[in-house]
Structure 1
Amino acid sequence: MTGKVLVAYGTTNRSTARIAEAIADVLRKHGLSVDALPARSVNSVSSYDAVVVGGGLYAGRWHKDARRFVRRHREALAARPLWLFSSGPLDASASERDIPPVSGVKKAMTQLDAQEHVTFGGCLEDGARGFVARMILRSGKGGDFRDFDRIEEWAARVAGELSGGK
């Protein structure tokens, strides 16, 4: 594939944005042209040959911007290779085992014939926005559980699929 790839993401406190940017960096290192953009800022996916969409998990749901993105662009997404990722567990579980997609993401995977979904650990640190985030931090359950080696390995596999196994 010689076209462009979009990595769109829904995030509140930039943790998922950092994951999306890491994915985009790996895809670029594999010779792909990539844009990493907040999902809410994307008006069209028509100029992209493949799409990766990620969203933070909040109370068992994908970030609203990621949900709206896949709904708004469902026809175009169904017509091109699509990968999905979630970020969220505030523990090491995402690095220890495969975590299945939440129900809304599973439904999107089926409807859009997505190639794959993966869940990465999340990050919630001091200064996070939102009442629930502040409550989690006060309870001592915050921290950075993103595994960038695992994220980069997954992105390299996506790049390999997009490049025809090169």
Structure 2
Amino acid sequence: MLVVVASRHGATSELGEWICGTLRDGGHQVALTRPVPGADPQGADAVVLGSATYAKRWLGDANSWFAHYREALVERPTWVFDSGMAPRSVGDDVPLGDAVRVVDALGPRGFRHFGGRIDRALLSRAERAIVGALRKPDDDGRSRPEVEAWAREIDLELGGLLTGALGGALGGALGAGAATRDRGAIARD
């Protein structure tokens, strides 16, 4: 599994780390990477793609990576998330801005928006000016339990997808009874 995350100041990368940790706890082999040209999803069984957002805009490297690998993403189970400080209601997971285009193009198995972090010590002078003009205090709106709960949902869905694929393949080779009995053990091997 491949988790690809675009982050400017590290907060969204941390979300990717939390997602990876939860998926690894579920028994999945997971690679975390930035959206760079060599991060090809072709060899991945599934992909989670995420980006920090600024004024509802995804980071340029996330948009470029998505555009370059769109065909490969459509061919495999994909989940999408973004993170930012734009005011949103709890549980409001309707894509906004660039996420609309990505979600519409991919038809992912899930989309989630997570809160972001403002830490003036990490911001550029221009970013500090914008945050100051908006009278935004330093804040961390990320919820690790919420992120890990979403990753567990992905884990459960992946387990069902893997079990179904392996069960179908094994059912033909071994007989349906053997595949059904062994699905739980096979899904995590």
TM-score tier (shorter) = 0.7 to 0.9
Q: Secondary structure at the match of 2:80?
A: strand
Q: CA deviation at 1:90?
A: 5.7
**Are residue 85 (structure 1) and residue 81 (structure 2) matched?**
yes
Aligned pairs, number:
160
CA distance in 2, matches of 1:75, 1:27: 24
Task: Flag the 1:136–1:148 CA change in 2: closer, same or farther, 3 A.
Answer: farther
TM-score of the superposed pair, with normalisation by structure 1: 0.87
The list of structure 1 runs, each at least 4 consecutive aligned residues, that deviate by more than 4 angstroms after superposition, is: none
CA distance in 2, matches of 1:164, 1:65: 32
Q: Report the identity percentage.
A: 29
Superposed CA RMSD: 1.9
Gaps of 5+ in 2: 162-183, 185-189
Task: Flag the 1:128–1:41 CA change in 2: closer, same or farther, 3 A.
Answer: farther
Does structure 2 conserve the Cα–Cα contact (< 8 Å) formed by 1:54 and 1:85? Answer: yes
Match of 1:107 in 2: 101
Q: Which structure shows the bigger proportion of residues in helix conformation? A: 2
CA distance in 2, matches of 1:132, 1:156: 38
TM-score of the superposed pair, with normalisation by structure 2: 0.77
- Residue from 30, 33, 36 that aligns with 2:29: 33
CA distance in 1, matches of 2:115, 2:96: 14
CA distance in 2, matches of 1:83, 1:56: 15
Does structure 1 conserve the Cα–Cα contact (< 8 Å) formed by 2:37 and 2:65? Answer: no
Match of 2:129 in 1: 135
Does structure 2 conserve the Cα–Cα contact (< 8 Å) formed by 1:90 and 1:124? Answer: no
Match of 1:46 in 2: 42
Q: Which amino acid aligns with 2:13?
A: A
Q: Secondary structure at the match of 1:135?
A: helix
Q: Which amino acid aligns with 1:164?
A: G
Structure with larger Rg = 2
Gaps of 5+ in 1: none
Segment drifting more, 148-157 vs 81-90: 81-90
Q: CA deviation at 1:126?
A: 2.8
Task: Flag the 1:140–1:110 CA change in 2: closer, same or farther, 3 A.
Answer: closer
